[in-house]
Structure 1
Amino acid sequence: MIREQGQVVATGGGRCRVRIQRHGACSGCDIRRGCGIGLLARAMPGRTAEITCETGETLRQGQRVEVGVSERGVVSAAALVYLLPVVALLAAAVLGSPWGDAVAIPAAGAGFVSALVVARALARRMTDRGAYRPVVLADRPARGDDRSE
């Protein structure tokens, strides 16, 4: 389970909206070493995201919580978005190559676009099944004022 701390900004209907602080991609960013992603993260600090989480608890606005999403869901979403279109593009290009570039290039484009359509449909199906739906794992009271941050 991938876990992150956040603050509840809205509640209702067994769900809540949680604001989380975006972090760098790896621990190297936190210790001032690493790649260009770390440089970008330092150049644009304070970026936040809001996510909708399922919860069975009664939460209040401003409350600190820990949210999580399954690793399997994150990996499958990444494969769906990044891997499927590239594989389809290459496969279509290879299949069209016996007829020359005039066929291989449009075939590659068609394979890429088709994979995006398929990925979108699969992502909707996975979302409906709750494959990568974030959940509230635990409530964490804020130190001092609940609305600070």
Structure 2
Amino acid sequence: MRETGYVVSVQKEMAKVQIQRHAACGDCGACQIGQEKMTMEALVENLISAKIGDRVEIETETVNILKASFIIYAFPLISFIVGTVLGYQIAISMGYDHPANFIAFGSGILFTILSYLVVKFNEKRFVKDKAYRPTILRIIEN
């Protein structure tokens, strides 16, 4: 996925790029939403030495966007479903026929919370992983 934006700050081999937000953008975590709803800022690799004010083209591999989307959206959903099914099966096996639905729902919520904690505790690992980091491809204008 390619986007264009303006470099707003530079530190060593990284740059903060302000990008115009599109309706198709989600909150996957690859970018940080800016103060205004229609802009966001992304921390990107600056291997071509772009400077503040440069208009640049950045790219994130589509496969990595899909992986990040799975981690943020599908993993908690799958955890909720697994937790609900397990909670229901355990409640039924223990003889709790009537409150089994409530137990299943509570178990699903617990598994969802645990999935978000797993994602949160692994966030630093994802941030350090260069595969998920956008890269400046070229300077469009100085």
Shorter-chain TM-score: which interval? 0.7 to 0.9
Change (3 A) 1:134 1:22: same
Instruction: State TM-score, norm by structure 2.
Output: 0.77
4+ residue segments displaced more than 6 Å: none
Provide the alpha-carbon RMSD of the alignment.
2.0
Task: Indicate the residue corresponding to 1:41 in structure 2.
Answer: none
Task: Indicate the residue corresponding to 1:32 in structure 2.
Answer: none
Contact 2:3 2:59 in 1 (8 A): yes
Q: Distance in 2 between matches of 1:19 and 1:4?
A: 10
Q: Distance in 2 between matches of 1:59 and 1:105?
A: 51
Change (3 A) 1:46 1:78: closer
Q: Distance in 2 between matches of 1:11 and 1:53?
A: 10
Unaligned runs of 5+ in 1: 27-44
Candidates 57, 69, 85, aligned match of 1:94: 85
Percent identity, aligned pairs only?
A: 27
SS of structure 1 residue aligned to 2:132: coil
Contact 1:84 1:119 in 2 (8 A): no
Instruction: State TM-score, norm by structure 1.
Output: 0.74
- Cα deviation per residue 1:56-78 (whole Å; 9 max; x = unaligned)? 22222211110111112110111
Task: Indicate the residue corresponding to 1:12 in structure 2.
Answer: 11
SS of structure 1 residue aligned to 2:120: helix
